Amino acid sequence: MPRYEFRCRTCGDTFELSRPMAESSDPASCPAGHDDTVKLLSAVAVGGSAAGAPAPSGGGGGGGGCCGGGCCG
């Protein structure tokens, strides 16, 4: 289940809630009971590849990372 980060405008605390994506924009009360909260944007790193997305370049044309580039002894 996704975790969403919120900040309370009343006390300034930041807290996380686990909830279904369908409820991601529902209001949230802070642990101190305040209702004036705002959902924060989070940077998410996701592995895998997207359809139609170009593959990352290894640079240098040699491929294979460091050893493919001839820098290993």
Q: pLDDT band for position 68 (50/70/90)?
A: low
Query: The whole model's pTM is what?
Result: 0.56
* CB 30 within 8 Å of CB 8: yes
Predicted pLDDT at 26: 94
- Coil vs helix vs strand at 6: strand
pLDDT of residue 53: 61
Q: What pLDDT does residue 54 have? A: 64
* 39-59 pLDDT per residue, tens: 998 776 667 666 666 666 655
Give the model confidence (pLDDT) of 24-38 as tens digits. Answer: 989 999 999 999 999
Question: Containing H/E element for 4?
Answer: strand 3-8
Q: Which helix (H) or strand (E) holds 38?
A: strand 37-39
